[in-house]
């Protein structure tokens, strides 16, 4: 048996994550098992989408977080890692300056990736590969704090992909106009006309939390009716009540309704009645992509 450790850092608009995974090689089989996940709620999008730049305060917090992650990876004997930043740093005028400063101070080289690369990495997942092998028609929808990435598959083949600047933190800060919604609606409806009985696959921290609230295992489906009921139920509570009475994290309680709104609109426009939630994310895809590169 051979065991190596790979790590992924996902610098998103709502939070940043460090995922460390064990890659186990045994009898010509490979198993990738999560070893440790550290999540820090540094809401970079609250700066980037409103002011167009990341504040000094959040720059310092991000620097401290990256230094901490560097130490954690060192203690865990991580062999290889990759750090990727998405829309918050993409949109920030000082995003590249911060990237350089972090590299100089911590040795962590952050790649500011575009929507296409983000979608490609997330699609490195066994659940999605199963749908592809079954030649299913489906839409993969990843809802983040700054953007929503949508990939369309027909007969198991990737046909179209698009990144929309509609995300939970943008909506929270009223930074999404009606034209952006109309653009997403038109694109989804146009793409869906070519699909036969499509299903939807959803990812992101908020839809994962909704699945947990439904007491369902990873890979289960949530119906359109269930999501509508959950949306209306959560709207009855204030943000404070969602934290205290519903036991939601502070950085989840204010954005979860916006995530549900995005998923509900996407499902209605695509004509799908259920969304499968395999609990995948960018960090999982980065680890799998790193493993493929090493092979």
pLDDT digits (tens, 9 = 90+) for 45-65: 989 898 999 999 999 999 999
In the chain, the domains with their CATH numbers are 2-116+283-294 (3.30.420.40), 126-279 (3.30.420.150)
Region for 66 from its dihedrals, namely left if φ exceeds 0, alpha if ψ lies in -120 to 50, beta otherwise:
alpha
Q: Please give the Cα distance from 128 to 206 (Å, whole number).
A: 19
174 by Cβ neighbours in 10 Å (0-12 / 13-18 / 19+) ranks as: exposed
Distances (CA, A) of 253 to 78, 126, 202, 248: 33, 30, 19, 6
The mean per-residue pLDDT over the stretch 116-121 comes to 84
Point out the least confidently predicted range of 67-71, 136-140, 230-234. 136-140
Identify the pLDDT of residue 81.
Answer: 97
pLDDT the model gives residue 157: 85
Q: Is the pLDDT of residue 68 over 80?
A: yes
| Number of CB atoms found within 10 A of residue 10's CB | 24
Q: How far apart are CA 62 and CA 102, in angstroms?
A: 8
Residue 295 has pLDDT above 80, yes or no: no
Alpha-carbon distance 277 to 242, whole Å?
22
- Give me the mean pLDDT over the 42-47 stretch: 91
Mean pLDDT of 112-136: 79
Q: What is the mean pLDDT of residues 117-125?
A: 81
Least confident of 27-41, 130-144, 174-188, 260-274: 130-144
Count other C-beta atoms under 10 Å from residue 217's C-beta.
10
CB-based contacts of 54: which residues, under 8 Å, 6+ apart?
A: 44, 47, 48, 62, 88, 89, 92, 94, 95, 98
pLDDT at 115: 81
- Long-range contacts, stretch 96-104, CB < 8 angstroms, 24+ apart: 98/54, 98/59, 98/62, 101/59, 101/63, 102/62, 102/63, 102/66
If you average pLDDT over residues 142-148, what whole number do you get? Answer: 92
For residue 229 the two structure tokens come to: 């009921």
pLDDT tens digit string along 86-97?
989 999 999 999
Beta-carbon contacts of 238 under 8 Å, excluding residues fewer than 6 positions away, are none
- 249-278 pLDDT, tens per residue? 999 999 999 999 999 999 999 999 999 999
Neighbours of 18 (CB within 10 A): 25
Kindly state the tokens that stand for 215: 């007491």
Flag whether pLDDT at 119 surpasses 90.
no
Lowest mean pLDDT among 101-105, 217-221, 290-294: 290-294
Question: 3-class DSSP state for residue 195?
Answer: coil
**Which pLDDT belongs to residue 128?**
74
Average pLDDT of 33-37? Answer: 93
Range with the lowest mean pLDDT among 7-16, 32-41, 134-143, 213-222? 134-143
| CA gap 208, 201 in Å, rounded | 11
Share of residues in the chain with pLDDT > 90 (%): 74
pLDDT above 80: residue 130: no
Give the integer Cα–Cα distance in Å for 225 and 230.
Answer: 9
- Asked if residue 54 lies in contact with residue 88, where contact means CB atoms within 8 angstroms, the answer is yes
Tell me how many degrees the CA angle 229-230-232 measures, rounded to the nearest 5: 65
Q: What is the pLDDT of residues 172-225, one digit of tens each?
A: 999 999 999 999 999 999 999 989 888 899 999 999 999 999 999 998 999 999
Q: pTM here?
A: 0.85
pLDDT band per the 50, 70, 90 thresholds, residue 121: confident
């Amino acid at each position: 048996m051979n065991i190596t450790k790979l790590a992924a850092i996902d610098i998103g608009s709502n939070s940043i994550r460090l995922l460390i995974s064990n890659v186990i090689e045994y009898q010509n089989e490979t198993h990738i098992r999560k070893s440790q996940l550290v999540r820090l709620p540094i809401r970079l999008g609250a700066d980037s989408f409103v002011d167009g730049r990341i504040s000094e305060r959040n720059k310092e917090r991000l620097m401290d977080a990256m230094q901490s992650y560097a130490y954690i990876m060192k203690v865990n004997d991580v062999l290889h890692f990759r750090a990727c930043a998405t829309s918050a740093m993409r949109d920030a005028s000082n995003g590249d300056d911060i990237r350089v400063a972090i590299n100089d101070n911590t040795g962590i080289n952050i790649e500011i990736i575009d929507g296409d690369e983000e979608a490609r990495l997330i699609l490195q997942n066994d659940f999605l590969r199963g749908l592809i092998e079954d030649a299913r028609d489906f839409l993969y929808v990843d809802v983040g704090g700054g953007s929503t990435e949508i990939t369309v598959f027909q007969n198991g083949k990737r046909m179209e992909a698009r990144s929309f600047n509609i995300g939970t933190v943008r909506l929270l800060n009223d930074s999404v106009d009606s034209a952006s919604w109309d653009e997403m609606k038109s694109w989804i409806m146009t793409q869906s006309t070519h699909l036969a009985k499509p299903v939807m696959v959803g990812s992101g921290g908020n839809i994962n939390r909704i699945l947990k609230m439904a007491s369902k295992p990873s890979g289960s489906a949530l119906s359109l009716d269930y999501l509508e009921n959950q949306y209306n139920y959560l709207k009855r509570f204030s943000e404070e009540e969602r934290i205290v009475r519903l036991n939601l994290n502070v950085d989840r309680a204010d954005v979860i309704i916006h995530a549900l709104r995005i998923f509900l609109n996407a499902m209605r426009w695509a004509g799908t009645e259920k969304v499968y939630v395999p609990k995948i994310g960018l960090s999982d895809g980065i680890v799998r992509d790193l493993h493929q590169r090493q092979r």
